[in-house]
A and B are shown apart, each in its own frame.
Chain A
Amino acid sequence: MITIGSLSLGAALVLSVYALVTFVVAARNQSQTVTDSAQRAVYSIFILVTISCLVLLYALFSRNFNVEYVAQYSNRSLSWFYTAAAFWAGQAGSLLLWAWLLAFFAVLVIVQNRKNQPLLLPFVMAVMSVVLFFFLYLLVFKTNPFISLSFTPEDGRGLNPLLQNPEMIFHPPSLYIGFVGFTVPFAFALAAMMSKQLDNLWVKSIRRWSLFSWLFLTIGNILGMQWAYVELGWGGYWAWDPVENSSLLPWLTSTAFIHTVIAQERKGVLKKWNLSLIILTFALTIFGTFVTRSGLISSVHAFGVSDLGPLFLGFLALILIVSFTLLYRRAPLLNSASTITGWTSRESSFLLNNLLFVAITIGVFLGTVMPSLSEAFTNNKITVGVEFFDRLAVPIGLAIALLIGICTLLSWNGTSLRNIIKNFTIPVCVTLVVLIILLIRGSHHFLALVAISIIVFSITSTIMEYVRGVRVRRRMENGSLFAALFNLLRNNKRRYGAFIVHLGVLLLILGIAGSSVFSYDTTVTVERGDKITVGDYELHYLGIAGSHDKHYHIDAAQFDIYSAGKKIGVIQSEKHLQPNFQPATEVGIRTTLKEDLYVILADYDTETGRATVSVLVNTLIVWMWIGGILMVIGTLLVLIPSAAKRSA
């Protein structure tokens, strides 16, 4: 059975070479016969890689510990939920998932485009075949998940307790879907340049793919933040860890891309810029994989040292050299049909937003690779701290937040000064009122005041856009308020869906700003019956309670929570003790819209009941998660096809 998994991968690798060669031939001589055969090779690759995935899943669920991968990442006591997640817990499994997604997306691209883009498709598929070949080569020759041990152990090592979290099911696959999804826009971009078919048709083909991939990258990042927030040892929701950064980088460039590609569609501008952005986005997904798997950059999330690093680096270099050489050679064909007019147009605000996104991308990239680069060139490892990233991200993040509010009020081609004043009046007034209230209530933290002012301005201007839109709709239709809002969203999903995403981003920034500026904490050692006072809360320590889960032993420090003399709940922080692994800490969290009460069990003695705990009050943090949900809802709205398109 296991041999079939390995043979399937080998056969898929051979077919990927066949698909590459035949798609190149088909692109050159435009032969339908060769194209058909090549497409069938891709369908077959998908079937073969699917068989490999099923074989690995079977090995995991049947506890076949003769397979090294199964013995390494699962054991007999592991629940079916985490046994499924063990599929991508290790390097080989995660690369297999990557290859399967890529093969699946390749099939979807063929089905979607074989009729509409018969000339471009062979070029697109040739590029995708190269990427498929690379990942299948790694799976067959470098990190095969079907390697057998010379003996069969009684039990496996098990899954790291840090990974035994429901997020393990959703976070890695979401990120992989996002990463792999960007292969499609990249392949179309390269195909358009190779075939010189540089009209807007390739942009049409990738618009949904870019949004789809961006959506999953967003979901993956938000889930990762949540996981890091509840799992101690990963440095809070965002620690500027290299692996966290490497999933943020393609998100930043793709966010820039999905804005300026609209300007290209509408105004025929920024063609070279958009091609550069999509090349960079794909290159950054490969860079992210390199960071996770090379072991060159130390991170709490990395897979450890492996010999895949040079291969990823070589592939990355190949992508960048080929893509930018092609872009340079096609530059004369990529001149814009028109120019960006005036600084008060929506397209110029898109450009400004892009410059900010690219600036933060460069900064985060340099900060991430600095230790490796400095060591390579000077033998002296220069590590960049959290302060560097904060200093970079705070002003740029706030500038982007401000731009969200301004851009919403601008129109294509330009907006007159009179209309700017008219549209900006209400948001500016609301912001001033909030600012005055904050000052009266004694808030004097400059950065917090600036951040809240910007967020309030941008949220108000976005809401005003809805108010004005609904008003116009009601005038046009004479309908109810609800009907007007519904029709506003239905008739312009792209615009109003995007505004929901913007609201989500603003709430996310609000959560980050609030938790960074207003949070406070205390660390104390307590005996049974002691009280801990933090802000408005009083925690009564009840002692350490031991219990056994199916998989590990649990020691929990328990507290009653009081506020203003009233008991408002209980909270506990746990240590999970599992053989073969370091103890894992599960924090206790009580969430309200205003703040999270967050308890960490740092150290304890089961005999005396004495415990050292940290109690944190994290302000406004829940708004980050609400913002994340809004980002997902807004993007889904943009992605839903319009009724006209569905019926077409």
Chain B
Amino acid sequence: MSYLFLVLLVIIGVYIIAPYLNRHKSVAVAGTKQQKLSALQYRRQLISISLAELDFDYRMGKLTEQDREQAMQELHSELGNIEKRLAQLGNAQTAAVKEKLEKEIAARKKQINSGKK
């Protein structure tokens, strides 16, 4: 049994150091963008919920039409800003992916060309 446990410990050791043997690039840039994107998408989701609730509260007689309109305007305005920022981030992300792909294609071309030589 003790031998089995020792084997398990060795497997765990190899499993933990394995990532160092197969290096990845930093996640910093993509990670920051991904988080910004997630935060904006979450805010957009919350605003959608708030808009639906506002409408429901109005139908239930909790709000006057004036209060409802004012709150809806504020939320729509914020939603507009979020959509704009999401579009900007989407474009930036598309550009970053494009740039990455072009670099990879160029590197592959170079590799192929050098192979031919």
Contacts and interface: CB of A to CB of B under 8 A. Distances in A.
Decide whether A and B are members of one complex.
yes
Nearest to A33: B19
A509 to B, nearest CB: 25
Contacts of A30: 26-28, 31
Contacts of A476: 59
A44 B35 contact: no
B57 A411 contact: yes
B75 to A, nearest CB: 10
B34 A412 contact: no
Nearest to A4: B5
A272 to B, nearest CB: 19
Nearest to B56: A472
Nearest to B6: A7
Nearest to A422: B61
Given A30-B28, A468-B60, A414 B67 contact: yes
A419 B17 contact: no
Most buried by A among B30, B60, B63, B64: B60
A409 B61 CA distance: 10
B89 interface: no
Q: Is the interface of B mostly helix, strand, loop or mixed?
A: helix
A419 B61 contact: yes
A8 B27 CA distance: 33
Interface string A444-483: 0000000000000000000000001100100110000000
Contacts of A495: 53
Contact of A469 (B16, B22, B27, B60): B60
Most buried by A among B2, B19, B42: B19
A37 interface: yes
A36 B19 contact: yes
B47 to A, nearest CB: 9
Given A30-B28, A266-B46, A266-B50, A419 B62 contact: yes
Contacts of B46: 200, 265-266
Contact of A416 (B18, B26, B63): B63
A522 interface: no
A472 B50 contact: no
Contacts of B25: 32
A33 B24 contact: yes
Contact of A32 (B18, B24, B42, B59): B24
B53 A37 contact: no
A15 B2 CA distance: 19
A412 B20 contact: no
Contact of B71 (A36, A204, A410, A413): A413
A47 interface: yes
Interface string B89-115: 000000000000000000000000000
B9 interface: yes
Contacts of B23: 33
Given A44-B12, A120-B35, 18 more contacts: A3-B2, A30-B27, A30-B28, A32-B19, A32-B27, A47-B12, A48-B12, A119-B32, A204-B42, A409-B62, A411-B63, A412-B71, A413-B67, A413-B71, A415-B62, A415-B63, A468-B61, A475-B59
15 contacts: A1-B1, A29-B26, A32-B24, A33-B19, A36-B19, A37-B17, A40-B18, A118-B30, A118-B34, A119-B27, A201-B38, A411-B57, A411-B63, A416-B67, A495-B53
Interface of B: 1-2, 5, 9, 12, 15-20, 22-28, 30-32, 34-35, 38-39, 42-43, 46, 50, 53-54, 56-57, 59-64, 67, 70-71
